[in-house]
Chain A
Amino acid sequence: MPSSSTARRTAADDAVQNYLDRLAAATSTLPPAERSELVQQITDHLAAARADARADGLPDDEALVLNLVEDLGTPEQVAAAAGAELAPHTPPSVGLEIATVSVLAFQWLVVPGLGWVVGIVMTFFSTRWTVGQKLLAAALPLPALLIALASLGTALAVPVSGRIDLVVRVLVGLALGTALTFVQARHLVRAAHRDTSHPH
């Protein structure tokens, strides 16, 4: 290969790299996966267009690249199109809310009390719940707690006729507490989902 041809290719390569660098800078606010896919698409676009030009016997020089880049639009235009197109289609994430509800509902099974505190702290980070819903989330362990206290109270206050009676009371209490917690948790997760489709 003559050196002049090498020099021309380098100038064209530099022009490509310059555009890709500007595109990378303009798309810095896009999610990383979207950003790298877009930069890859534009990289492929320019490489293929240059290969087409060579196949047609046209010079693959800086002027060609500058033309190709002009047809692509400015990096800012491409970035704006990506922002408008992709942002509304990222799936609504209610993962935080589901995790929070799980921590609060199942805290009895891990470290009672500590899980409650952790769950309440987690509600502060939710952007999908209103203050009222956050309070309801914080109150998730309450039905189970109240029923535990109530069965303890009745066990102490009312004379128990036998072990079977005590076991039945505790089981009924557990079932009620679980059901209430479940209804409350379902309401909260639905509320988080609703907020994604009807923002207020």
Chain B
Amino acid sequence: MSCMEPGDATKVTAQLRRGVLEHCVLALLRTREMYTLDLVRELARVSGQSVSEGTLYPMLTRLRRDGKVTTTWHESASGPPRKYFALTDQGRGALETFVVGWRDFTTAIDALLAAPPADPDRAATAGPVVDATPRKGP
């Protein structure tokens, strides 16, 4: 049996969140422009306690460079002008591609996690699917 440390589950979740984060940005911007501070706070919330707001800025910079989002400045009633992020056509395309890929991916993984083992002989020795998670090396 793999010995799963108490922190491993949260680590796995954090990694999964990290991997889909940039598409969460695109999804958040799908219907409206978002002000940087709101966007960063919303993302930090989506990605859990482990992600610091400041670490999200480099990702936003990269998305802008990749042409998936644009930024514009708007006047603000309560302070200095604010930077807003909006989705570009390219960003919308990337999001649509991701949505399709995500559905296929989650369907396949859900099926894998839910399915009983194919070979009854192996099932007796291999145990439930959950135990097949990759083990850490020594």
Residue positions of A touching B, CB distance < 8 A: 34, 37-38, 41-42, 44-45, 47-52, 54-55, 71-74, 77-78, 80-82, 84-86, 89
Contact = CB atoms under 8 A, between A and B. Distances in A.
Contact of B79 (A37, A52, A71, A82): A52
A140 to B, nearest CB: 35
Interface in B39-93: 40, 44, 52-62, 65-66, 76-80, 82-83
Contacts of A89: 62, 65-66
A52 B57 CA distance: 19
Contact of B36 (A48, A54, A85): A48
A86 B44 CA distance: 19
Interface secondary structure of A, over-half rule: helix
A78 B52 contact: yes
Interface secondary structure of B, over-half rule: helix
A48 B80 contact: yes
A72 B40 CA distance: 10
Interface residues of B, number: 25
A51 B80 contact: yes
Nearest to A80: B55
Given A45-B53, A72-B53, A73-B53, A52 B37 contact: yes
